[in-house]
Amino acid sequence: MAKKTAARPAAKPGALRFKGKTFALAGTFYRWTKERITNLIQAEGGKLVTNIDDQLNYLVVRRGGTAQQDKKKAQQLNKSKTASIQIVTETDLYTLFYPDKDLALALLTGGPKALKRWNTIRTYHQRNTLDLTGADLHQARLKEANLSAVTLNQADLRKADLSRATLERLTGTQLDGACLAGARYPELIDCSLKKANLTGLQLRHRASLERSDFTGANLKGISASGCNATGAVFRKADLTQASLGAGILAGVDFSGADLKKAKLEQADLTGANLQRASLRQADLAGAKLPRADLTGADLRETVLLDADLSDAVIDGANFTGANLAGANLTGLDPARAKGLDPARTTSAGKIGPNLRELEQAGKAGNRLFTSASLRLPDGTKVNLWLQYNRNGRYLHAWSRSDTGNYRSTAQTLQAAMVDLPRRWPEGDLDQNSVEVKGSKTTVTGKALQRLALAAWCEGLRRGHPHGGGDQGEREGRQDQQEGPA
């Protein structure tokens, strides 16, 4: 015999569907479970009671405790026809409270109190999808709304307030002029977001933004690492300090966009339109920009470490102060741009004897830590740290500056000490800042201090503080033989 489902009471959209109804719990309910059930019942006008009598409307049964006795008592009351108690499981209870489309739209357009009720109901239906395709939510106030597992494809959300809302994938949705500041986890496919506010938007890693139109939108500080924005338009959009590292941005239109201090490391910008875009102080380390149109683009002080700029259009672009170490400039005519010096592609440090010796000393010990600071021309400071653990099996290398943090992916100590400072070729090593600590390393004391200083100088391609690598090594070995002073 098929299981009979508890009847859902009819109610006008927006009305409290269980107003005046009583509920009792039978069995073992953990404190948090009881609290959320109580909140759910109260949100819909119901009341949680302890007595099982002929006035009870619903008995929620769970295993343990007095569940069977309470259930039997309710059945006897029903059999005597003095009561009409619906006996339901915890899952059945959540199904009873599940909102239909009419109720959902009424709550989402009913103001702050209705939205609070909506959020309470939706908290317990994360896995149940509610289809609101094509819904008219134009100018709706949905601040902090829980819209997870809600389908809003082709919906009208123009000028809606979705700040700090939790969203799902949106396809073909109209969001022109909407506010999604601080919103979480959406994917935006074939959507229109012209002049929308998306500041601080948090996207899922590798989220899709394919073919969406962000013309004139404010995307300052968005988190969209690894996103796929193929076919998207960011014309004249504000993307300052946006995180788009490793993004698929080939052919994307960024013309006139503001990308100052944006993180675009390892991004694929092949054939992208960056005409008159501002990329000042942006991080494009390892980015792919072959055939990109950089006409009139501002690339001053931009990090272009190991970037591929082959056959890019650079007419009128400004590369003054850009870090071009390791960049591929094949097919570029420096005369067409300002400040583009091919000689700067080889300005990085070089692995030499001091770096090799320091690595060997670290591998022989349990732990090696060294740090240094760089002084930039504008007076700001960059801190560099490197830690080698367990005989060289674990390497952690990172840096911190006013423009953000960077973690090196180098696999060896010597490679990391060359890689870390490459982002700041104009930086001067503060020799007094160099620190080093080792545990069971083959070089110790003053010899280790001098070796670390020599290694940092080598990594920065600066002259050795003692007048040459060989002299420094000789002094280091002599100190090691004589022991610490």
Q: What is the pLDDT of residues 201-247, one digit of tens each?
A: 999 889 999 999 999 999 999 999 999 999 999 999 999 999 999 99
Q: What are phi and psi of 482, to 5 degrees?
A: -80, -20
Q: Can you read off the two tokens belonging to residue 473?
A: 């090594």
> Which pLDDT score, from 0 to 100, does residue 409 have?
84
pLDDT band, residue 351 (cuts 50/70/90): confident
Topology adopted by domain 22-96:
Rossmann fold (3.40.50)
CA distance 473 to 432: 19
Over the stretch 154-193, which tens digit does the pLDDT of each residue have? 999 999 999 999 999 999 999 999 999 999 999 999 999 9
Q: Is 14 exposed, middle or buried (CB count within 10 Å of its CB: 0-12, 13-18, 19+)? A: middle
Q: Are 262 and 239 in contact (CB under 8 A)?
A: yes
Average pLDDT over residues 388-394: 78
Map out the domains of the chain as residue ranges.
22-96, 353-482
> Which pLDDT score, from 0 to 100, does residue 466 have?
52
> Which pLDDT score, from 0 to 100, does residue 241 have?
94
CA distance 299 to 313: 13
Q: Is the pLDDT of residue 391 over 80?
A: no
pLDDT band, residue 469 (cuts 50/70/90): very low
Q: What are phi and psi of 403, to 5 degrees?
A: -90, 0
CA distance 156 to 153: 9
> Which pLDDT score, from 0 to 100, does residue 201 have?
92
pLDDT band, residue 8 (cuts 50/70/90): very low
Inter-CA distances, 267 with 22, 106, 251, Å? 58, 43, 12
> Which pLDDT score, from 0 to 100, does residue 254 have?
98
Over the stretch 282-309, which tens digit does the pLDDT of each residue have? 999 999 999 999 999 999 999 999 999 9
> Which pLDDT score, from 0 to 100, does residue 475 have?
41
Q: Is the pLDDT of residue 464 over 60?
A: no
Q: Is the pLDDT of residue 5 over 50?
A: no
Which residues, other chains included, contact 247 with Cβ-Cβ below 8 Å and sequence gap of 6+?
224, 225, 226, 227, 228, 229, 264, 267, 268
> Which pLDDT score, from 0 to 100, does residue 347 have?
61
The average confidence (pLDDT) of the chain is 88
Q: Are 313 and 334 in contact (CB under 8 A)?
A: no
Residue at token pair 């180098």 = 410
Over the stretch 424-440, which tens digit does the pLDDT of each residue have? 888 899 999 999 999 99
Q: How far apart are the first and last CA of the chain?
A: 91
Over the stretch 94-109, which tens digit does the pLDDT of each residue have? 888 888 899 999 999 9
Q: What are phi and psi of 282, to 5 degrees?
A: -75, 160
